[in-house]
């Protein structure tokens, strides 16, 4: 089966890992300048560097949509800059997963593939897609929703060790981003960790820099630019797919197999 995954961020990367490990072929569609924060574990970085390895998954950049089929014969997954999904004109996908996490539907519809899956809020299961996977941390994380919507976006990051909004840094300024510290650095509250234009950006809590936008990125005010993990003893987390991404990826795999098997059984009953 061939899957199209929209987006190459950390949640999408966890999803791609599950699918590739399970024998699926995966194409990732991205924008020309992705703003992934957890860059060490985002296959979207291949857009900039031509290649990205996250754990055991190696991803290469395909230069144009016309060559995706040929690239898939040599590498799995491949990523292509294709925000308009022109690749749908060249490949018939069995599955489309919208993993952009835009908090709204930016174009997913059930006609794109035999199985369509939306991650997080903004999609109505049974209308925009076959199923929706819950992305909010808590009891329902990774729940497969067959009718209705995921929980609405609260704009408040999930808590880690009691810290929520404090662990995420949003830019107060417009300008070019330049880091002073690096991903995996341990910082103290009040430390200067980056600059946006001529303005310094400071850590709000003690912790480990788990994610940071790329140097030179043209930042707009309000954009998420840094993620700090208060668990100072877990620097290794900067280099591995998160528990949240693994859980969501597992539910995507489950949903695909569930729908495929359910339809197969229905077809058998219809024949007999």
- How many domains does one find in the chain? 2
Query: Please, is 181 exposed, middle or buried when counting C-beta atoms within 10 Å of its C-beta (0-12, 13-18, 19+)?
Result: middle
Q: Which of 89, 125, 99 lies closest to 110, judged by CA? A: 125
**What is the pLDDT at residue 153?**
87
Do 147 and 169 reside in the same domain of the chain?
no
- pLDDT number for residue 233: 85
Q: Give the Cα separation of 191 and 202 in Å (integer).
A: 5
The SS3 assignment for 68 reads helix
- The reply to whether 86 and 140 lie within a common domain is yes
The single residue listed with the structure tokens 């929703």 is 145
Q: Are 5 and 16 in contact (CB under 8 A)?
A: yes
Range of the domain at 131: 2-153+243-271
Residue 59 lies in a domain: yes
217 and 134 co-located in one domain:
no
Cα–Cα distance between 165 and 168 in angstroms, integer? 6
Assigned domain for 126 exists: yes
Distances (CA, A) of 272 to 85, 261, 266: 39, 17, 10
User: Are 65 and 124 contained in the same domain?
Assistant: yes
Task: Give pLDDT, residue 270.
Answer: 67
Say which CATH number the domain at 254 has.
3.40.50
* Residue spans of alpha helices (H) in the chain: 10-21, 46-49, 68-72, 243-271
pLDDT at residue 156, rounded to an integer: 77
The closest of 109, 105, 87 to 26, measured between CA atoms, is: 87
For residue 234, the model assigns a pLDDT of 83
| Average pLDDT by stretches of 10, the chain with 272 residues | 97 98 98 96 98 98 96 96 96 97 96 98 97 96 98 83 87 97 96 97 96 97 95 90 97 98 79 61
Does some domain include residue 238? no
């Amino acid at each position: 089966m061939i899957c199209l995954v929209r987006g190459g961020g950390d949640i999408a990367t966890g999803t791609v890992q599950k699918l590739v490990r399970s024998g699926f072929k995966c194409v990732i569609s991205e924008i020309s300048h992705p703003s992934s924060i957890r860059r060490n574990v985002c296959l979207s970085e291949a857009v900039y560097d031509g290649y990205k390895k996250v754990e055991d998954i190696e991803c290469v950049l395909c230069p144009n949509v016309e060559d995706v089929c040929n690239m898939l014969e040599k590498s799995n997954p491949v990523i292509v800059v294709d925000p308009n999904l022109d690749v749908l004109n060249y490949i018939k996908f069995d599955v489309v997963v919208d993993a952009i996490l835009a908090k709204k539907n930016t174009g997913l519809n059930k006609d794109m593939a035999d199985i369509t899956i939306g991650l997080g809020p903004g999609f109505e299961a049974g209308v925009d897609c076959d199923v929706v996977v819950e992305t909010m941390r808590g009891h329902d994380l990774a729940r497969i929703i067959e009718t209705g919507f995921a929980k609405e976006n609260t704009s408040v990051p999930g808590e880690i060790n009691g810290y929520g909004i404090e662990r995420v840094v949003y830019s107060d300024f417009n300008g070019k981003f330049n880091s002073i510290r690096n991903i995996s650095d341990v910082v103290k509250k009040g430390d200067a960790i980056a600059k946006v234009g001529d303005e310094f950006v400071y850590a709000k809590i003690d912790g480990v820099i788990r994610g940071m936008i790329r140097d030179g990125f043209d930042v707009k005010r309000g954009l998420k630019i840094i993620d700090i993990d208060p668990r100072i003893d877990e620097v290794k987390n900067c280099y591995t797919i998160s528990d949240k991404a693994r859980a969501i990826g597992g539910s995507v795999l489950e949903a695909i197999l569930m729908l495929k098997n359910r339809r197969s059984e229905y077809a058998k009953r219809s024949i007999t």
